[in-house]
Structure 1
Amino acid sequence: MKMESSKFVHGVRRRQSGLSAISMAFLGIFLAMVFMLGLKVFTPVTEYLTLRNTIQSIKNEGPVNALEVRQAFENRQKIEYSIQSIAAKDLQVEVNGTVTAISFAYDKEIPLFGAVYLLIKFQAKTR
């Protein structure tokens, strides 16, 4: 009995499948760039989420006026070290009867390489 070569199946040559070494290198470089971008964007996004949760919890406490909102924000900012992009004076506070709406907006530039930056515009408003 004769052993068949793995390149041939029933006398017909099989096509190779998979990625070449060059394709794997390009794929690796692309994935590394996406990973590095994710690392650079992670901190600003987590800060934004912290800010959004902070203003929502301040609103849930039921402050009466803008001064109380800003004081509560300053107290939270002393505890939460990751809040650095805005200050209490940057909050927009709208009091309409018993309903208080707190919002903020800011831009964050993230340096990528050389003179290339990623600009993210963050904004949030309490529900």
Structure 2
Amino acid sequence: MMHRARTLRPSRGLTLIGLLSWAIVVGFVGYVLVHVVPTVTEFFAIQRAVDRVAAEPAPTVPGLRAAFDKQKGIDQTITSLSGSDLDITKQNDKVVISFAYEKEVELVGPVYLLIKYRGQSK
């Protein structure tokens, strides 16, 4: 009787340790996204408000700041900036409103994520 030698093939598939590792990674990314998405939403709301204010003809810088504060009152998602935080300049007879701010997102205990946002009117 002749016995054939069996060739061992490496196992394929996901082990329990591998599955748990992926679950931890996906869970952490989801946790971070849940905390970061509101700050991104606020940034886009600020960008829209700045674009609206820059498109409206306002005679003075205080008028532009007041118009932004009015937009802020309409859109309740804007909490990080006020009209006094805007940098208002004029380039080629066009009003340019720029802004920059930082947002700290608490992740776990003493660990924070610092996000820096910057934008200007179009």
Task: Report if TM-score (shorter chain) is over 0.5.
Answer: yes
- 1:63 Cα deviation from its structure 2 partner: 2.4
Identity of aligned residues (%): 29
Q: Deviations over 1:58-87 (max 9, x none)?
A: 111232321221111111111100000011
Of 103, 109, 123, which aligns to 2:118? 123
CA distance in 2, matches of 1:96, 1:27: 51
Runs of 4+ residues over 2 Å off in structure 1 = 11-16, 62-65, 95-98
Please name the residue that 2:78 is paired with.
83
Q: SS of 1:17's equivalent?
A: coil
2:34 corresponds in structure 1 to 39
Aligned length: 117
Q: Post-superposition shift, 1:97?
A: 6.4
CA distance in 2 between partners of 1:99 and 1:64 (Å):
12
Instruction: Give how far 1:96 is off.
Output: 4.6
Q: What are the ranges of 5 or more consecutive residues in structure 2 without an aligned counterpart?
A: 1-5
- Partners of 2:119 and 2:60 lie apart in 1 by 19
Q: What is the root-mean-square deviation in Å for CA atoms of aligned residues?
A: 1.5
The reply to whether residue 56 of structure 1 matches residue 22 of structure 2 is no
TM-score (norm 2): 0.88
Uncovered stretches (5+) of structure 1, i.e. residues with no partner? 1-10
Code of the aligned partner of 1:22: I
Moved more, 11-20 or 89-98: 11-20
Per-residue CA deviations over 1:32-80 (Å, capped at 9, x if unaligned) read: 0000000000001110111011101111123232122111111111110
